Every structure is written in structure tokens, then in C-alpha cells.
Amino acid sequence: MKTKWLLTFPPELTGEPVTYTLIKNFNLKINILKASIDLNVSGNLLVLADGNKNEIDSALAWLGNTGVIVHPGDSQIVWNDALCVHCGACTAICPTKALSLDPSSWMVAFEGEKCLECGHCVPACPIGAISNNNGLHHA
Amino acid sequence: MAARKTYDEINQKIKEGNAVVVTADEVIDIVAEKGVREAAKYVDVVTTATFGPMCSTGAFMNFGHADPPIRMTNVLLNNVPAYAGLAAVDAYIGATEASLDKGINYGGAHVICDLVDGKSIRLSASSPGTDCYPRKNIETWINLDDVNEAYLYNPRNAYQNYSAATNTSDRPLYTYMGILKPGMGNVHYCTSGQLNPLLNDPHYRTIGIGTRIFLAGAQGFVSWMGTQFSSGRKRNAKGLPDAPGGTLAVSGDLRSMTTEFLKPAVFKDYGISMFVGIGVPIPILDEEVMSCVSVSDKDIFTTIEDYSVKRRDKPSLGTVSYEELRSGIITLQGRKIPTAPITSLHKSRQIAELLKQEIEKGEFEITKPVQSFPLNKTLKSLEVKSKEGR
């Protein structure tokens, strides 16, 4: 199973090889989607973790003990289907086609797994149908 | 025998429930299968539609008279300024006007939609006071039931084609065409292409002053040619302009509208606009009209303009068909660039389908224009003059 985590590092843990441990000890395939982290400063790491349920659960338990804060979830970008008018203004802004237009229905679809959480879509939506709950700061 | 029908004959079929009505999407296959001549005999009405941001949108209102009465100036609706340089209690609220306290996060478009949704709106106005209108201030609440009239009057909607936009500079641009990424990172386009009303009637044979239309759920009318009407634009072999051509001024009663087809739009660092849903029926009077409505995205071209050039006339980087734009990626100057629409094709199709159903049910009659639009009107520019004179 694949799961997306936003890991928030307190300053004292930014020197720890957390990604290495997740791979080595818990046998997870880790894909880093976004990193905003400096030594001794609080930072964030957005990862896609791939492994079986036991491995994922054990890794989550270990992360909890280290003090790294885990915000689990498919995506912290929330696309509100009920508000969307399906204009498409967000779709060429999105770098990974997580937001796309279906070429037959011409409706917008959001695939959280592809989302890098860059947040560029949020101001691109003229209706205000996209919001960002991930706490990452964007330029 | 040539296929010719009059407006009366088509309306008679609509009344009897026998009219054959199809959308401008559906008609393409019908013409491909039957040919123009047979299709013109078979089809009576083709519905066209668009749902995109249209800044030149607003509403007239008459509030009714208070006691004692006031000749309102400085009118605010939910703290959004409305123009009241009219009779005592008439005002016009423009969609793009921003709130005095919330800025572009709330504006005229939001006030109009709140009214349509039945919400109460705070009305504040002041006046110097006159013998006939002694009151100097008023603070009250209004809603759509309280006011005498409230109708959209949009000076420019439903552009017949529009240039696509890109950005060759090294910083993002925040425009009414959405966010344009640096280094030609994207191309944004609007209009509903083969479903667009005026692209299906390029020479304005059936769309003119008085044409009954679908306007945000209501039955509205074309009230005039739209501002910046530019019918004299160069045309291609299909008679279509590859840059902005004709436009429509439209009006309709807010009380019959729905915010499903009328939505405030906020473009970051640009301002407020309004998504307006418009549907226009085209009666198939003869083969020429049928030939025009069979236009498809591959026949419609538009120019791509560089919005990083901060001048009135932006350089064109090339011409592209709507079919290419719709594919999601185009090649421009040897590079593959993602494209995205600003006009909702999904909503446009919904409107064309709804209008089709209204006509089929006999609830929507077609109208002959009381006056046709001019065919060779060109666009003027504003020159900055150092002294008065011609």
C-alpha cells in the first residue's frame, strides 16, 4: 500500500537520518515529493511511503516515538467538487497533472496521490474551490 | 428543393412539440452524416452556449422609495460601491467593483450572486438632501423580493473568439486569463470553441438585438451589440475571426436566475470577474445557417498573445486551433506547452443541453432579431492627446 505523509521535524531531529531508517529498518520505498528542511530549524518532508500494512504501521509507531510529527493523509490539498465549475484554470498550473480535465466529460478530477502539495493551484482557482491544509509555507 | 424555414414555421413546430433541437456539439456529426442540405431540412434549432468569466457584467436595481425619500448618492451594497448617478433610487452595481473593507475577496459579483441566492444585502446611501428628497442618510437591508427591479445588464459578454495567453517573461503573471507561468509554462484560452454562440453564427444572421437567450437560468435578451464589437476583423475561409470579434450586450431578470450559472470569480492580483452562463438558440433557416453551425474546433483558430509585453497590442506568438488547445498540449516555438481553458466546457454543455430541453418542451420560443448587427465595425483605440480637438 502507498500512503502519503507530511513529516514535521522539530529542530533537534533535523540531524537524524529518518528517511534512511524508514527504508533500512522498515523496508519502505520512500519517494520524497517535497522537502523544506534545514539543519537545526523546524522543517517539513512530504513523502510517499510504499510498503505492506505491518511495515507502514511499525514505521508510524517508530516515527511517533522519535518526536517527528506525522500528518497522514492522501493529500492536504482539498479540492471541493461541489464548488468547482470545471473551468480548468488549475490544470496547466499543476506540475504533475494531479488536477486534470477529463477529455470527454471536461470535468476536473483531482488525484491526491500525484499531488506534490506545491499549492500553486490554490490561488489559480477563481472560485476558491481549492484549499491548502498542509501548513507548508509557499512563496 | 432548398431547405428554407421561417421563424414562424420553427416556432409553430416548437409549440407543437415537434421541433428537432440539437446542440452545436451534436450537430457536427449530423451534418457529417447527412450533409448540409439534408441536415438543414431535418434540424430546426441548434443550441450554443458559453460559461466563462465576463468582466463587463453588472445589475441595475431600483430600491423603492423610503419615507421620507432620499435621492441616493454614495450607494454601498454590503460595502461595495454602486453607481447611483441616475434617478433617486436607481443604481448599477458592476461585477468587478471591490468591497471597501474586503478588497477583491468580495465585490459586485458576490453582491449580485448573494441577491440571486435570496440573501439580505446591507444598503447604505447618503445624499445632500433636497426639497423633494429631504432624507440625507439611509441604512437598511434589501433582498431580491424587496426591490422594484433587479436585472442584469451586461455591456459585453460572449466574445466571438478570444486570443489565448502565454508569458515569455521570467516571473509569473497574474491576469484575468489566470496565472501565466514564466517561460511559456502554460497557455490559457477561453471561449467554448465549437459551442460558442457567435462562432456558430459568424455573420450575425440570427443573433441580433432582441434575440431571446438563456441568461444564467433566466430567459433574457440580447439588448445591443456588446462593447468593443469588432465584426470587421479579418476572417478565415470559414468566415471566422482568429481574434476577438463580435460581442453581446445582454439583459435578464435576476429573479429568474440561478447561481448555478452565475458565479463570482476572483483572479489573484487582478481582481473580480463573474462567470456568466449564456445559451443562444440558432434557428436553422437555410443551408447557409446550417453550414455555419457545423463548425468544429479544428476549424476555429485563435492567436496566442504574449501577456508579458505590457502594451495595448501584445505580440502574437502564433496561431493555434481549438482542437490543438483542447488536446492539453501544443507546440509553440518548438516547445511542448500545456494548455488549459478558463471557460468551463462542462458548464457550457450543460447550458446547451438545458436550452435544448426548454425548446423541446415548448417553453422557449425563438425570436427574429429586431435589428441586425453591423458587419464591418472596427475597434478604436484611445489616443493620449496633448490638446483637445479631432
Using DSSP, state whether B13 is helix, strand or coil: helix
Three cell numbers at B375?
458587419
CA distances from B355 to A113, B21, B46, B153, B284 (A): 38, 9, 10, 20, 16
Q: What is the pLDDT of residues B316-353, one digit of tens each?
A: 999 999 999 999 999 999 999 999 999 999 999 999 99
Of A72, A90, A108, which marks where a domain is finished?
A: A72
What's residue A136's pLDDT?
47
Whether residue A57 sits in one domain with residue A100: no
The number of distinct structural domains making up chain A is 2
- Mark whether A83 and A68 lie in a shared domain: no
Query: Can you give B360-384 as a three-state secondary structure string?
Result: HCCCCCCCCCCECCCCCCCCCCCCC
Query: Which among B263, B267, B349 is the nearest to A85, CB-wise?
Result: B263
Q: Which residue has the higher pLDDT, B259 or A49?
A: B259
B55 is known as an active-site residue:
no
- Which B residues in the span 157-216 are in contact with A, Cβ-Cβ below 8 Å? 174, 178-179, 181, 185-188
Asked whether the predicted pLDDT for residue B2 surpasses 70, the reply is: no
Question: Residue range B150-157: average pLDDT?
Answer: 98
Residues linked to residue B279 through DSSP beta bridges, in sequence order: B49, B214
How distant is the alpha carbon of residue A100 from its chain centre?
17
Task: Name B81's Cβ contacts closer than 8 Å, sequence gap at least 6.
Answer: B74, B75, B97, B100
The full DSSP string for A9-75 is: EPGGGTTS-HHHHHHHTT--EEEEEEEEEETTEEEEEEEEEE--HHHHHHHHHHHHHHT-EEEESS-
3-state secondary structure of B134: coil
CA distance B355 to B21: 9
Which CATH number characterizes residue A62's domain?
Answer: 3.30.70.260
Question: pLDDT band for position B148 (50/70/90)?
Answer: very high
For residue A91, which residues of chain B lie inside 8 Å, CB to CB?
328, 338, 340
Query: Domain boundary residue among A33, A56, A72?
Result: A72
Q: Residue A73's pLDDT is what?
A: 66
Q: Which residues in A have their CB inside 8 Å of a CB on B? A: 85-93, 101, 103, 105-107, 120, 123-124, 126-128
Q: Which residues, at least 6 apart from B35, have a Cβ–Cβ distance to it below 8 Å?
A: none
DSSP B156-178: EES-S---EEE--SSS-EEETTE
Q: In terms of domains, do A7 and A65 share one?
A: yes
Task: Give per-residue pLDDT as tens, B272-313.
Answer: 999 999 999 999 999 999 999 999 999 999 999 999 999 999
Cβ count within 10 A of residue B101: 10
Q: What pLDDT, on a 0 to 100 scale, did the predictor assign at position A139?
A: 34
Question: Are residues A79 and A56 part of one domain?
Answer: no
Strands B173-175, B212-215: pairing kind: unpaired
d(CA A118, nearest CA chain B) in Å: 14
Interface with A, mutate which of B167, B322, B345 (most A CBs under 10 A): B345
Cβ of A88 within 8 Å of Cβ of B341? The answer is yes
Residue A134 pLDDT > 70, yes or no? no
Note whether A40 and A63 are same-domain residues.
Answer: yes
Question: Could you give the 3-state DSSP secondary structure of residue B353?
Answer: helix
Mean pLDDT, chain A, rounded, equals 89
**B3 has a pLDDT exceeding 90:** no
All cell numbers assigned to B20: 428537432
Q: Are B314 and B173 in contact (CB under 8 A)?
A: no
Which residue among A48, A72, A96 closes a domain? A72
CB-CB under 8 Å, A120 with B265:
no
Check A93 against B340: CB less than 8 A apart: yes
Chain A nearest C-alpha distance from B52 (Å): 8
Q: Give the closest-approach CA distance of B274 to chain A in angstroms.
A: 9
Cα three-residue angle B234-B236-B241, rounded to 5 degrees: 50
Query: Cα dihedral angle (B31, B37, B38, B43), rounded to 10 degrees?
Result: 70
Cα(B273)–Cα(B58) distance, rounded to whole angstroms? Answer: 10
> Which H/E stretch holds residue A115?
none
User: What's the pLDDT tens digit per position in B28-78?
Assistant: 999 999 999 999 999 999 999 999 999 999 999 999 999 999 999 999 999
Looking at chain B, the whole-number percentage of residues with pLDDT higher than 70 is 99
Asked if residue A60 and residue A29 are part of one domain, the reply reads yes
Which structural domain, as residue segments, surrounds residue A36?
2-72
For the residues B134-151, what does the mean pLDDT come to?
Answer: 98
Q: Closest residue of B to A121, CA-based? A: B179
Range A35-51 average pLDDT? 87
d(CA B95, CA B111): 8
Closest of B186, B263, B165 to residue A87, by C-alpha: B263
Contacts of A56 (CB under 8 A, 6+ apart): A1, A3, A26, A28, A49
A121 pLDDT higher than 80: yes
CA distance A19 to chain B (A): 32
Q: DSSP 3-state assignment of B56? A: coil
- For residue B68, whether the previous peptide bond is cis, meaning omega lies within 30 degrees of 0, is yes
Integer Cα distance of B362 and A78 in angstroms: 42
How many Cβ pairs within 8 Å bridge chains A and B? 77
Residues making up chain A, counted from first to last = 139
- State phi, psi for B232 to the nearest 5 degrees: -80, 5
Report yes or no: B344 at the A interface, CB cutoff 8 Å: yes
**Cell triple for residue B54?**
465576463
Q: Both A131 and A110 in a single domain?
A: yes
| Window 54-73 of B, Cβ < 8 Å to A | none
Q: Reply yes or no on whether the pLDDT at A75 is more than 80.
A: no
Position A137 scores a pLDDT of 42
What 3-state DSSP class applies to B94? strand
Listed residue (B7, B2, B4, B374) closest to B206, CA to CA: B7
b (16+ CB within 10 A) / e for A82-117? eebbbbbbbbbbbeeebbbbeeeebbbbbeeebbeb
Q: pLDDT-based confidence at A83, cuts 50/70/90?
A: very high
pLDDT digits (tens, 9 = 90+) for B177-212: 999 999 999 999 999 999 999 999 999 999 999 999
Q: What is the domain-level CATH number for residue A103? A: 3.30.70.20
* A90 and A54 fall within a common domain: no
Same-domain pairing of A90 and A117: yes
Q: Are residues A66 and A82 both part of a single domain?
A: no
Domain check: are A48 and A93 in the same one? no
Q: Please tell me the predicted confidence (pLDDT) of residue A118.
A: 86
Q: What per-residue confidence (pLDDT) applies to B1? A: 57
User: Do A62 and A94 lie in a common domain?
Assistant: no
Q: Are A92 and B338 in contact (CB under 8 A)?
A: yes
Decide if B108 contacts B60 (C-beta within 8 A).
no
B368 grid coordinates: 427574429
Work out the minimum CA distance from B44 to partner chain A, whole angstroms: 26
Compute the mean pLDDT over every residue in chain B, rounded to the nearest whole number. 97
Q: What are the grid coordinates assigned to A70, written together?
A: 506525522
Q: Are B344 and A86 a contacting pair at CB < 8 A?
A: yes
Q: Tell me the ipTM for this assembly.
A: 0.95
Q: Which of A80, A87, A99, A104 to mutate to test the interface with B (most CBs of B within 10 A)?
A: A87
